[in-house]
Structure 1
Amino acid sequence: MALIGFVLGQYAQLLVFITACWGIGTLLWPASDLPTRQPLRIALGMGLVICALQGLAIAGLLNTASVLLVIGCGLVAAALQIRQMAWPRLAPGWPLLLLLLATLPTLFAPLRPPLAWDALMYHLPHAREWALTGHLGVHEWLRYPWFPYNFDLLFAAALVLGNDVLPQLIHASTGWVTGWLLYRLAMQYLPAPAGAAAALATVTWLVTSRSHYSAAYVDMAVAMFLTAAFTAMQVSIRPAGRRAVWLAAFLLGVAAGSKYQVLGLLPLFGAALLWRHRMQGPGWRIRSEWDTWLVTALCFALPCLYWYARNALLTGDPFNPLGGRLLGFTDWNLGDYLWQLQDLRNHAAWPHWALWPALAAPLLPSLRRVPALRAAWLVAAYMALVWLLSSRYPRYLLPAYPLLSLLSAAVCIQLLRQLPAKLYRALATMLVGLLVLALGFMGARSIAKSWPLIASTPGARDTVLQQQVAGYQIWRYLKEHPEAKLYQMNLEDSLYYAPRPTWGDVFGPWRYRDYQHLGAQLLHHKLKSEGFTALVIHTGRAPTVAQQSAFLQYFELMLVDDEVSLYRLRP
């Protein structure tokens, strides 16, 4: 019962947050005739909440009262609008079954304590610092201190309220909103049978993004904002198209304030604006076309300008550290920059196989005749090309997955419909059966993996963290017996649970490679001269450091937790 109460309590908090976002979004996007209006309102509202939190954090006012005030305003706005809301009809028959089977495992994955690598390394630690100080400061002992962190502000708000599971649920909710938006897009634009294609597109998105629902990352959020911006641009050819363009610019700005890679879409967005202006003609102007472009630029800049202006003023590089080779490095150096690029190359991989049918979309006349699908293919192809030429790191292509899922599903359904009627029905029935079995198996395996990690009490949480987080026992010991200054080596994936601050990283002034290759005496001298009093080493990842014959002459072993050891510097 305690576990069920915990699950219901977490989802009740998420529901309050989503309702508040929907309420705020509805006030600014009251259009009622669009099939995509509800997920668009949630995405818009989430972006506006981020802007409010950003302003509060800049002013040093990010605290419990201000967070509750923002959410309260959203709930009041929702209460004023809820009676006018048109509830969506559920898909009948097998599409509904597929959607439920694909969604069910993603509902349990976010409920575990934070365990994902990047979330523990910098997403949650940065958010925790803002939550504890109430101020949007720069914390150079953490990785990527100069990144744009729009979406992480929502994590900070959750941590202000004392909940570190809620950040994962908020990130997961963007995946569900993206699925909802994708389903409505498919129903609106895909040729018959649109219902089958819509269900398949949504299932493809949920399956290809399934590994991200358990993490407090930003990639699914970027996917949601970009898909919502694409949707708004499809609306912009209507008579009230200016507002849709401004909405798209704002959503693109929220995404650009969450991840640098979004800036690569600006040339494509500019080209789309030029095309829309040509399609709309003089009626698209306010007073002149420059006024419209100015408002569009302001809508884009509002949610993201702070991060880039701050970086430019304080470091000279608005894209710190990515612009270091041209504009000069601040905390990184050229070695860090090249190391980061090499790490991306080491983890390069191709997209999920279920997305590859999207390549054939321009070859099918029935799809090529639909303007929205032509636009989707152009945008997805552009995003894939930029990704291919830059990193080929799988997670960086995730924002393109919704449009690729839409196109892939459309291609598969249209190819099936080219078959003779009897063969089409038999093959479709067989494929649905296989999908039900596959989704059921994957879902059962995912739930079996997630359920034991859900911790409803402090004791259960400690047990999970001791099993899953390297060095957790040592971090807990150091919180109870603090050191003056602590350096860690190869434990960046557990920093959220470490005392704050804990120094040491792959990049920056306290990079591992400046320490771990030193002899015992030189390492002791370097750490001592920099004020460090203790050293924590993951001996499985850095095995040679503590194996030096003279190591214990300079470092005293204090505690061992599996492959993690705590040493105190001798006088």
Structure 2
Amino acid sequence: MSVNSRRLLWMLAAIWMLAMVIGYAALHLPWVDAASIVLLPVSERPAVGPALASVLLQAAAVVLLVLVGGGTGFLIVRGLEWLSGLETAAIQWVIGLGVVSALITIAGLTVGFPSRLLGWLLTLAAAAALNQPIRRWAVQLVEGLRLATRPPDEPFFRWVRVGVLALPLLALTMTLVPPTAWDALTYHIEAPRYYLEAGRIVANHPNHFLGFPQYTQMLFGWLMLLGGDSAPALLHWAAGVSIGLLVVGFAHRLDHANAGWIACGILLASESFWLEMTIPYNDLFLGACVLGAVIIVLGASDGRQVAWAGVLTGLAVATKYTAAGFAVAMALLTVWIFRRRRPLHTVTLLTAAALLAFAPWAIKNILLDGNPFSPLLFGTPGFSDLDAWYYLRPGTGEPLWLLVLLPIRLTVFASEGSAYQVAVGALVFTLLPLAALLWSRWSERDQHLIRALLVFSVPAYLYWLVGAGVSWFLTQPRLLFPLFPILALIGGLVVETAGTAARLPAGERLVRPLVAVVLLWAAADSAVTWLAINPLPVTVGLEREDDYLLRRMGVHYAAMQTVRDLPDGAVTLTLWEPRVYYCGNGCTPDSMINQWWHDRERFGDPAAIAAQWRAEGITHILVHEAGLVFLLEEEPFDPLDAADIAALDQLREQHMTLIWDAFGFAYRLYELDPAR
């Protein structure tokens, strides 16, 4: 390639980077949450002592579970000595926790859950029995950290490392607050709460989410048994750290230590990735499983080693069904890596190990719902064909020209409050095209590495893209989360290499300054978010939990308090509200947000619907009015129509009595009138 051609391409690359970064910055201003900042919310009767005791108890529970997971993994995972200490420790931890989660599932299905005291005794006994493996696992981890954290020579990379270490610590301070995240209150901690309340794992057909794989939910449930409902977020934070360990350890082993730290910075510059480290979700566990499996396959020398990648793949699917696309990509990567060394045999071992790892949760679903993939494919008593159609609404996908532009749209327009529900960050996709311009500077080994990462990433991305073309509801970039660390590694290699040539094109000189600006922007955004949430007062007991929840969730928590105050025996059905964690077992959730449409399709007449609800034992109806308005005015493909709204008004007038009203536009609570 001529010098002029290279300069032109770098000029175009500079325009591309500037457009993406400026577009992102314009729509992701860090100070937009400033109005919600409350500097020192102090309750009238602070309870510092009990709050600190609760924090210590929950932190101790998480530390114990982390150690038991690491010790268990160290005991059983063998044959991966060629990995770095950080990679090995993280992979052993994820697999060890998978074993612990499977044991909790088996216990919950058979003998039930123990008391808190017995749970502590069992956990302490497990830690004592695993004393030597835990020690050796911890030594391996510490030694890996020592090697990977040697200070770099260049100031740019030193400052990147400071940011990479600081942002997770900031997130850590936000983990031990009362949970408020949407999916957490819908099922991530609602499922274990329901099981613990029942004393064992039982079916809950009205909440279809309880059929989803529960690798993480079982761990969350054990922590809630030991300490409380803030501990799961701390464990999810640890899962985010494990992704960082895998990225840094992998890059360091391949003599690209700076690229590993840059990759972590790219991930943390994604607002949603950073926020996920503060809440009890499962995406970071999924990301750790997928990244660990890819790392093993890339360096494995035989099928026995690949089997551990299969275990991680199975645990990924046991975390989230949407990992099926990554499982397919993993099989393709395995075939490509072993294309000259018995590929069919190796991919068979990968598949068998994955099925074995997934089996405990498939068996649980068979026992409770008669469907190993509950609630999908074969349905459940609470998930009909109507629900299956509503869940995906096939035919609502995006046209091809919009699908092609998705990386740009996700970078610039996606945010936590948008229809995408995720902020991807300015760098995940932006840096990828620059790899083509730097290709000739990489060694043959590095080129092979990037090819292999693309062999995995492209099929996984296309799998998601096909889904987005079929259904608008599969366009969520959160489904791509496991791909972000792999794309970030490519971006890290780009940033590490850019600026190393003797004579730099002007466009190439922009790479590192733009990355620095984005990382500073992300740090400012995270700081403003931290100030808006202000987690420390409630953590140390200066702010009461109820006051914090009212401050953070407003009228939703007020509605949950009102429902909890209903007489004993009251059963409340929610409409357009799936979050029932703070309501407890007195609530039947509208988990699909389609209860009214579903019952209209089945029974039609409001009187028949009211009669059906009475037959199910429903005594009260909580209508999330704001949720209904959102579906009618913002949701592009909801099937509700004017006849459905007229029927709802008829139901309100003829079969229900209003007993509580939150401003007329947020929530209304009705008592279901007795049969006439």
How high is the TM-score relative to the length of structure 2? 0.72
Contact 1:472 1:497 in 2 (8 A): yes
Question: Residues 6-45 of structure 1: matches in 2 within 5 Å?
Answer: 10-29=58-77, 34-35=83-84, 36-45=87-96
> For 1:112-162, what per-residue CA distance to the aligned partner results, in whole angstroms no more than 9, with x for missing partners?
211111111122221112223343322112132322212211111112224
Aligned to 2:187: 122
Q: For 1:33 and 1:158, how far apart are their aligned partners in 2?
A: 33
Q: For 2:535 and 2:646, how far apart are their aligned partners in 1?
A: 36
Aligned to 1:225: 289
Give the deviation of 1:483 after TM superposition: 3.7
Give the deviation of 1:45 after TM superposition: 1.7
Contact 2:387 2:598 in 1 (8 A): no
Letter matched to residue 412 of structure 1: V
Give the deviation of 1:98 after TM superposition: 2.2
Q: For 1:55 and 1:530, how far apart are their aligned partners in 2?
A: 30
Aligned to 1:195: 257
> For 1:408-463, what per-residue CA distance to the aligned partner results, in whole angstroms no more than 9, with x for missing partners?
22123323334637989976774575356324312321321232476244971111
Aligned to 1:97: 162
Q: For 1:298 and 1:547, how far apart are their aligned partners in 2?
A: 51
Aligned to 1:62: 113
Contact 2:578 2:593 in 1 (8 A): no
1:462 equivalenced with 2:546 (yes/no)? yes
> For 1:253-302, what per-residue CA distance to the aligned partner results, in whole angstroms no more than 9, with x for missing partners?
11111211222334433344445555556xx9xxxx96x77765553223
Letter matched to residue 389 of structure 1: V
Aligned to 2:659: 558
- Identify the match of residue 396 of structure 1 among 462, 475, 479: 479
1:386 equivalenced with 2:463 (yes/no)? yes
Q: For 1:306 and 1:382, how far apart are their aligned partners in 2?
A: 28
Contact 1:17 1:71 in 2 (8 A): no
Aligned to 2:635: none
Give the deviation of 1:14 after TM superposition: 2.5
Letter matched to residue 549 of structure 2: L
1:442 equivalenced with 2:525 (yes/no)? yes
- Identify the match of residue 145 of structure 2 among 78, 88, 98: 88
Give the deviation of 1:164 after TM superposition: 0.5
Letter matched to residue 254 of structure 2: Y
Give the 3 Å change call, closer, same or farther, for CA 280–74 of structure 1 in structure 2.
farther
Q: For 1:435 and 1:133, how far apart are their aligned partners in 2?
A: 48
Give the deviation of 1:308 after TM superposition: 3.1
Aligned to 1:355: 428
- Identify the match of residue 625 of structure 2 among 526, 536, 539: 539
Contact 2:269 2:425 in 1 (8 A): no
Secondary structure of the residue aligned to 2:211 is coil
1:487 equivalenced with 2:560 (yes/no)? no
Give the 3 Å change call, closer, same or farther, for CA 82–95 of structure 1 in structure 2.
farther
Aligned to 2:230: 165
Contact 1:230 1:248 in 2 (8 A): yes
Q: For 2:492 and 2:214, how far apart are their aligned partners in 1?
A: 33
Give the 3 Å change call, closer, same or farther, for CA 303–67 of structure 1 in structure 2.
farther
Q: For 1:122 and 1:468, how far apart are their aligned partners in 2?
A: 19
Work out the percentage of aligned pairs sharing the same amino acid.
21
1:498 equivalenced with 2:580 (yes/no)? no
Give the 3 Å change call, closer, same or farther, for CA 518–293 of structure 1 in structure 2.
closer
Letter matched to residue 388 of structure 2: Y
1:514 equivalenced with 2:599 (yes/no)? yes
Q: Which moved more, 1:265-274 or 1:159-168?
A: 265-274
Give the 3 Å change call, closer, same or farther, for CA 367–212 of structure 1 in structure 2.
farther
Q: Which moved more, 1:93-102 or 1:58-67?
A: 58-67
1:245 equivalenced with 2:306 (yes/no)? yes
Q: For 2:482 and 2:495, how far apart are their aligned partners in 1?
A: 21
Secondary structure of the residue aligned to 2:260 is helix
> For 1:489-517, what per-residue CA distance to the aligned partner results, in whole angstroms no more than 9, with x for missing partners?
12212x01113152242539955552699
Give the 3 Å change call, closer, same or farther, for CA 511–372 of structure 1 in structure 2.
farther
Letter matched to residue 500 of structure 2: R
Give the deviation of 1:478 after TM superposition: 3.6
Secondary structure of the residue aligned to 1:331 is coil
Q: For 1:382 and 1:367, how far apart are their aligned partners in 2?
A: 24
Aligned to 1:476: 561
Give the deviation of 1:202 after TM superposition: 0.7
Q: For 1:132 and 1:163, how far apart are their aligned partners in 2?
A: 13
- Unaligned ranges ≥5, structure 2: 1-47, 152-157, 399-418, 468-473, 630-644
Give the 3 Å change call, closer, same or farther, for CA 153–67 of structure 1 in structure 2.
farther
Q: Which moved more, 1:461-470 or 1:367-376?
A: 367-376
1:73 equivalenced with 2:126 (yes/no)? yes
Give the 3 Å change call, closer, same or farther, for CA 524–80 of structure 1 in structure 2.
closer
Please report the RMSD computed on the Cα atoms of aligned residues, expressed in angstroms: 3.6
Give the deviation of 1:333 after TM superposition: 3.4
Q: For 2:392 and 2:109, how far apart are their aligned partners in 1?
A: 32
Give the deviation of 1:231 after TM superposition: 1.4
Q: For 2:100 and 2:531, how far apart are their aligned partners in 1?
A: 35
Secondary structure of the residue aligned to 1:56 is helix
Contact 1:487 1:536 in 2 (8 A): yes
Q: For 2:286 and 2:235, how far apart are their aligned partners in 1?
A: 13
- Identify the match of residue 179 of structure 1 among 244, 257, 262: 244
Q: Which moved more, 1:5-14 or 1:383-392?
A: 5-14
Contact 2:207 2:382 in 1 (8 A): no
Contact 1:201 1:409 in 2 (8 A): yes
Q: For 2:659 and 2:427, how far apart are their aligned partners in 1?
A: 51
Contact 1:60 1:134 in 2 (8 A): no
Q: Which moved more, 1:35-44 or 1:312-321?
A: 312-321
Give the deviation of 1:212 after TM superposition: 1.6
Contact 2:184 2:281 in 1 (8 A): yes
Q: For 2:526 and 2:653, how far apart are their aligned partners in 1?
A: 50
- Identify the match of residue 308 of structure 1 among 359, 362, 387: 362
